[in-house]
Structure 1
Amino acid sequence: MESVANLHAMERMVLLLLVMVAAFAVMAHRLKVPYPIVLVLAGLVLSFVPHMPKIPLDPNLVFVIFLPPLLYSAAWSVSWRDFRRNLLIISLLAVGLVGFTVWGVAEFSDRFITALDWKAGFLLGAVLATTDAIAATSVAKSLGLPRRIVDILEGESLLNDATGLLALEFGLRLLERGDLPTVGAGLARLAYLIVGGLGIGLLMGVLVGWFERFVDNGPVELVLSLIVPYAAYLAAEEAKASGVLAVVACGLYLSRESARFFSPGVRIQIWSAWEAMTFVLNGIVFLLIGLQMPNVLAGIHGDYHITTLLEYGAIFSVTLIALRMIWVAPAVRLTNFARRLKGDHERISKRETFVIGWTGMRGVIALAAAVSVPEMINGVEFGARNLIIFLTFCVILVTLVLQGLTLPTVIRALGLAGSNQGMEPEEREARRLALREALTYLEEERREKGETYAHAYDDLIDRYEHRLAEITEDGSEQGASKAQVYQELLRAGRGALEAERRTIIRLRDEGAISDDVLRRMERVLDLEETKHLVH
């Protein structure tokens, strides 16, 4: 009976989390505020509600359950070409900045925080070294920030988890053994993490890609896509390599290859399912961060005066922001210099440099890393653990809420906010070339088929010419006329689809057709309407 009661309690807890995620996400949409910020604040407020269940954050739950699919989903949305182009600045942030943050926090702690020595400060720096770019990129995309800035932030967030967790490993060793690995040993460990993680991830990606060519079943491929990130992560962790890099490498490879082995129907199903799952997992994660306040206060209660704690939290938050800003400026200059040597004329401007520096938000990985710090080290209670957890929580709140809420203002003030409406030049040119190729194919087919099918081909060619005229926008009277005709064609098409929809609903209500028939026809209409909206 006790196990049944525990199961029911877990069911109620999960249901409560899902309801809160949905409700506060709607609120965030109406307020036009990134949902991670609203969920953290909502969780923080709800944590003080009487009789609110206490939900502790289990590090294993974060690292094993939440991290692999979220990393995998993020890797799928990254452009390999842009990732490779920005690899230098991403590496300087994901590796160099992590090391600089660990050293800076250790030095600051040793000099200014009485309760922390250099070793405890090193561990705190390792805990706080990883950033969470979910909120930053969600704001950046909605404001039309230059795509390369979004690419840099996403790339950094994919890679710095691995280096941050390695720094955490070194920090625990420092407390347990009293020393750090030698430079050679540290570099060897880092090299093994990188090479081993990337190798295992790529091998997993190649095997899955080969298997995918023999499967064309949406539900089966969806289940397979859920298995892959966990398999890559666990395989790498078992080999003592980086599970994070294994998932990222696997996701990048399969994302690039999916254009060849996914059929259109499967691709629609996979993207829709993963979009929903990623939203739910992210929502639960940010809500859990806010709900941790009672657990954090319970651990620190009585050891420090509240004024001292608030001072420490504010000081450390400013320190983390300052360390990032100090590192980003020379990193960008080095990147611009390297690009100039290669003949690449694209530069990261000073305004963009400031935005990159301002988006160093911490998230659930940092909190999970803090909670994972053992209570006992070498048989002795680690007294600084509760302070480390509290400071991590404060930094997450300050960076996520303060920087997240001010980022839109910063972007607008710097003149970097654009519009996410319409096509980018690159997309416009790609569509133009694709349509011209399609027209060439149709004209050749019309000549081969002869007069019997000429009318059908003329109608199809006319549609493609109107689409091409809309994209080309050559300014000529004929081009403008064709673009207007195509817009009217789309409007009329949407109206016709709506008429079809009303008819099949009426037939279903009258009992002339079954719900099963309605659903099959709805799917066809939905796909058609989606096609019209895309054009």
Structure 2
Amino acid sequence: MHGDIRTFETVFLLLLGFVVVLGELARRLKVAYPIVLVLGGLLLSLFPDLPRVRLNPELFFLAVLPPLLFHAAWLTSLREFRYNLASILLLAFGLVVFTVTGVAIAGERLFLLLNWKTGFLLGAILAPTDAIAAASIAKRVGLPGRITDVLEGESLINDASGLLGLEFALALIMSGETPSASIGVLRLLYLVLAGILVGLVVAWTVHWLELHIDDAPIELTVGLLSAYTAYILAEKIHASGVLAVVTAGFYLSRESATFFSPPVRLQAYALWDTIDFVLNGLVFVLIGLQLPFILAGLHNYTSVTLLLDAIAINVIIIGLRLVWVYPSSYIAYLFQRHVLKQPEPRPQVKQVFITGWTGMRGVLALAAALSIPETLSDGRAFPGRNLILFLTFSVILVTLVLQGLTLPWLIRFLGLGGADEDHSEEAYARLHMQNAARIYLEAGTMRGSLKAAAIFPEFVQPDDFHVGGSLIELPNDAPMDRADRLTITLQVLNVQRQAIVDLRGQGRINDRLLRTLERDLDLRETQVLDARNSRLGIPATKS
């Protein structure tokens, strides 16, 4: 027992060290860190004297997946998610069915020891894209915002449809029974609706708790707990734990402006960024480290056979996605334009191609493959399990590395880098903040409740969208003392914060821009609080 603990300590420290070193290497190389981490793990697996670390799928699904999905949902803009819902659903459900069907047909014709049933299973494993890899690589390579929004939305919810396909495929192979289409539809509806309901119930409860708690460590712990609670409760009732976590993340992110104080909000983003980096780093390194375990079960295959099979499955997976995205993007365009009456431009061929090319697979696919039982109910070896593991690993490696590394070049070649960037929304929001501050100060001055008339230009400066930076550094001959000015500054910041929250509620700005502006205000408020506290001898606020 003591030896096991010491081994675990050594392995854990080594993994964390690898994550730090490889993460810094990715930053210096300006390459998306999932690519470097996977390749680093792959190279480390070739050293015979290093400890072998096997990815435990149960541990991943329970301990790692909920916080990663929760944070990904938290950072997703709900406005863009709703706007692109037609495109997202066609990819998250339509493409999953198309991929599963295509791989099932190919399984019987192209791969030794695979039939349509095991091909169906392989398709269900490989159909969902990876939310973590998609978000990281999309932001690093500068994908246009619209494409990034669609990819992030797809990868957040296609896990549910993929895991349902995995459930059906395992039932088909283990029991020999083929579930009917009606059962499949009912199961999917229950999976989705019950998962969303659980996520909402957990989020409502956490929201209520957050409104009655004013202690940063406890608030942050409750937020982390909500991800695990949503996932576990949904899994307990055989609903989608993935959708439960995503729903809770969407809801709590939306409402965080009402229950987090500025210092807590700043700490929350720092905490979640750290959790996200550490867990992401560990899982992507672990992907690479799985190679020895996967190769150990492939003694009956020649190297040529494995290479040809790997090439074939990657061509199929990438090809199926490219074939699907063109008609689906046009269908989504027609639906948005003529049914939803959205001012949607006709999809460009090059943008559709990039959407099709950006279909990375990640640790979820590998964890799903590793969750396949080694034997059937009668004790026979599970057919094709080792080959499925190898093909899954090859698709993860190719889609992450090949597609991830070629994306920057393709974006530049197609002229898509920053093509749809529009800062008018931010300019409008900042001007709205300025006007909100102006109106508040003018109204207070007219009522006589604020002695701000003489220093009004210092509070709202015409060449700046923010409240002026001179709010803290004040001239000695100002007509009010420093304490009054700090108090008025806090009031103005609260007015501005409410103004941008209202804009978000009206759909005039998205959640991402709200968080950017909110952070500016939170940092400024923290400075003001520190200035006020220093006058009272209170330690500075931690952020």
TM over 0.5: yes
- Pair 1:206–1:470, CA change in 2 (3 A): closer
Question: Is the Cα contact below 8 Å between 1:200 and 1:235 reproduced in 2?
Answer: yes
Residue 434 (structure 1) shift: 1.6
Deviations 1:177-205 (A, max 9, x none): 22321111110000000110001111111
Residue 375 of structure 1 aligns with which residue? 374
User: In 2, distance between residues paired with 1:234 and 1:140?
Assistant: 30
Question: 1:232 touches 1:247 (CA, 8 Å); kept in 2?
Answer: yes
Gap change, CA 1:451 and 1:323, over 3 Å in 2: closer
Equivalent in the alignment of 1:417: 417
CA RMSD in angstroms, aligned pairs only: 2.2
Distance 1:66 1:154 in 2: 18
- Displacement, 1:10? 0.9
- The change in CA–CA distance for 1:448 and 1:97 in structure 2 (over 3 A counts) is same
Deviations 1:127-173 (A, max 9, x none): 11111143333333234432121111111111011111110000011
| Equivalent residues of 2:133, 2:361 under 8 A apart | no
- CA displacement 1:434-482 (0-9 Å, x = unmatched): 2111111112223333896543444223x3x2313999xxxxxxxxxxx
In structure 2, what is the Cα distance between the partners aligned to 1:86 and 1:451?
Answer: 46
Please give the per-residue CA displacement for 1:54-108, whole angstroms capped at 9, x wherever unaligned: 1011101111111100000001011111111111111111111111111100101
What is the SS of the residue equivalent to 2:464?
helix
CA–CA separation in structure 2 for the residues paired with 1:469 and 1:391: 54
User: Residue 419 and residue 26 in structure 1: after superposition, are their counterparts in 2 closer, same or farther (change >3 A)?
Assistant: farther
Q: CA separation of 1:419/1:351 partners in 2, compared to 1, >3 Å: closer, same or farther?
A: closer
1:193 to 175, 191, 194: 191
The C-alpha deviation readout for 1:337-360, integer Å capped at 9, x for no partner, is: 112203322233222111110011
User: What is aligned with 1:304?
Assistant: 301
Structure 2 gap ranges (5+):
469-536
SS in 1 for 2:297: helix
Contact 1:101 1:129 in 2 (8 A): yes
Deviations 1:465-512 (A, max 9, x none): 2313999xxxxxxxxxxxxxxxxxxxxxxxxxxxxxxxxxxxxxxxxx
**Amino-acid identity (%):** 49
Pairing partner for 1:320 from 306, 314, 317:
317
Q: How does 1:268-347 map to 2 (within 5 A)?
A: 268-300=266-298, 302-341=299-338, 342-347=340-345
CA contact (8 A) 1:339 1:346 kept: yes
Spell out, residue by residue over 1:311-339, the C-alpha distance to the aligned partner (whole angstroms, 9 max, x if none): 10111011100011111111101001112
CA–CA distance in structure 1, aligned partners of residues 112 and 35 of structure 2: 32
Amino acid at match of 1:161: D
Instruction: Give distance in 2, aligned partners of 1:413 and 1:168.
Output: 38
Aligned to 1:214: 212
Equivalent-residue separation in structure 1 for 2:107 and 2:467 (angstroms): 60
Aligned to 2:260: 262
Tell me which residue corresponds to 2:84. Answer: 86
Aligned residues: 474
Aligned to 2:523: none
* 1:144/1:419 contact within 8 Å kept: no
The 3-state SS of whatever aligns with 2:397 is: helix
Q: Does 1:397 align with 2:397?
A: yes
Q: Secondary structure at the match of 1:18?
A: helix
Structure 1 runs not aligned, ≥5 long? 472-516, 528-535
Distance 1:261 1:140 in 2: 31
Is the 8 Å Cα contact of residues 133 and 360 (structure 1) preserved in structure 2? no
CA positional deviation for 1:225: 1.1
Partner of 1:246: 244
The aligned residue for residue 5 of structure 2 is 7
Give the conservation status (yes or no) of the 8 Å contact 1:144–1:420.
no
In the TM superposition, 1:45-124 aligns within 5 A as 45-124=43-122
Which residue is 1:27 aligned to? 25
Mean Cα displacement is larger for which, 125-134 or 69-78? 125-134
Whole-Å separation in 2 of the counterparts to 1:333 and 1:111: 31
Letter in 1 for 2:440: Y
Which stretch shifts more, 175-184 or 218-227? 175-184
| Structure 1 residue aligned with 2:385 | 385
Given that 2:118 and 2:383 are in contact with CA atoms closer than 8 Å, whether structure 1 keeps it comes out as no
Name the structure 2 match of 1:460: 459
Are the aligned partners of 1:209 and 1:257 in contact in 2 as well (CA < 8 Å)?
A: yes
**Residue number in structure 2 paired with 1:507:** none
Q: Which residue of 2 aligns with 1:156?
A: 154
Kept after mapping to 1: 8 A contact 2:203/2:251: yes
Q: Does 1:448 align with 2:451?
A: no
Q: Contact between 1:135 and 1:404, CA under 8 Å: does it hold in 2?
A: no
Q: Is the CA contact (8 Å cut-off) linking 2:99 and 2:320 kept in structure 1?
A: yes
- The structure 2 residue matched to 1:16, chosen from 14, 17, 22, is 14
Kindly indicate which of the two structures has a greater share of residues assigned to helix: 1
